[in-house]
Amino acid sequence: QITSLVRRAALTQNDNHFNYEKAHNFKVHTFRGPHWCEYCANFMWGLIAQGVRCSDCGLNVHKQCSKYVPNDCQPDLKRIKRVYCCDLTTLVKAHNTQRPMVVDSCIREIEARGLKSEGLYRVSGFTEHIEDVKMAFDRDGDKADISATIYPDINIIAGALKLYFRDLPIPVITYDTYSKFIEAAKISNPDERLEAIHEVLMLLPAAHYETLRYLMIHLKKVTLHEKDNFMNAENLGIVFGPTLMRPPEDSTLATLNDMRYQKLIVQILIENEDVLF
């Protein structure tokens, strides 16, 4: 059993290079001119579709060799065209950061000037302004300017952060762990439920775990200003439940049935972030 202390030590130990595991994103490719497989070093025969190329790092291999390539993809920033809608692990590996820089930038801005804002995360900012922030991150990366001079309404920044999580192809709480989290939420004994949630947290990919940990520490800070912002852990659970976790099969019924458990999961993560992470 990896304890969260060991996990935390492993994450902080190597601050300038985050060795999160990532599978390659292979697509069938037609190579112009002679090409050799970078896995087995043999020639790629044929005129078209001779092999596959990883669209994140550019690795070229035979289709049959792709099954044996280890999960050691190091995405190339030049190949990552945008920030939103990009796989979370791919983004952090391309930028060599611990978490997506969108998350860091938005949280930094919100904590600097928005913690007392009434209805923080519940009140919506203007959609077109939120889209502007999204475009700024896609265009400028961590140089995007989201300061008060350009976006005085903090709800725009909060909206851009929620949109980032909603746009992820694989949610922060991954499809693989979704049903395990829901089952854990259904346990009636609070101590057993906490233990079960902790065990499922350990199944998250490292970049997802670290992003969730950082967000929960932030949301806990939001609840400490509840008398000003009127946002407690339950209210934030209602907002962030469906934002951070979605059922693997897109069924409206499953989503409706699970909503109270999604809320409960996020509420428990916020209230117990110091114990769980």
Least confident of 100-104, 128-132, 252-256: 252-256
pLDDT tier at 4, thresholds 50, 70, 90: low
Alpha-carbon span 16 to 92, nearest angstrom: 12
Architecture of domain 23-74: 2-Layer Sandwich (3.30)
Rounded Cα gap, residues 60 and 66, in angstroms: 9
Q: Does 9 have pLDDT greater than 60?
A: no
CATH topology (fold) of 83-276? Phosphatidylinositol 3-kinase; Chain A (1.10.555)
Q: What is the pLDDT of residue 127?
A: 95
pLDDT tens-digit profile of 191-200?
999 999 999 9
Contact call for residues 92 and 111 (beta carbons, < 8 A): no
Q: So where are the chain's domains?
A: 23-74, 83-276
pLDDT of residue 235: 97
Structure-block tokens of residue 264? 């409960």
pLDDT over 90 at 238, yes or no: yes
- Vertex 39 angle, CA 25 and 45, to 5°: 95
Which residue from 39, 86, 87, 84 is spatially nearest to 60, judged by alpha carbons? Answer: 39
Q: Are 19 and 97 in contact (CB under 8 A)?
A: no
Give the predicted TM-score (pTM) of the model. Answer: 0.84
- Tally Cβ neighbours within 10 Å of residue 274: 10
pLDDT for position 52: 94
Q: Average pLDDT in the 225-233 region? A: 97
- Token duo for residue 272: 């117990």
Residues 6 or more apart in contact with residue 69 via CB below 8 angstroms: 24, 39, 59, 61
Question: Token pair 């989290």 is at which residue?
Answer: 181
Confidence band (pLDDT; 50, 70, 90) for 16?
A: very low
The 10s digit of each residue's pLDDT in 110-141 is: 999 999 999 999 999 999 999 999 999 999 99
Q: What pLDDT shows up at residue 8?
A: 54
* Matching residue, tokens 């037609």: 30
pLDDT at 39: 85
> pLDDT digits over 154-187, tens only?
999 999 999 999 999 999 999 999 999 999 999 9
CB 12 within 8 A of CB 212: no
Q: Mean pLDDT over all residues of the chain?
A: 90
Q: What is the pLDDT of residue 34?
A: 85
C-alpha torsion angle, residues 216, 156, 241, 246 (rounded to 10): -120
Cβ atoms < 10 Å from Cβ of 10: 12
The fraction of the chain above a pLDDT of 90, given in percent, is 70
Phi/psi class of residue 85: alpha, beta or left (left: φ > 0; alpha: ψ in -120 to 50)?
left
In the predicted structure, residue 232 carries a pLDDT above the cut 70: yes
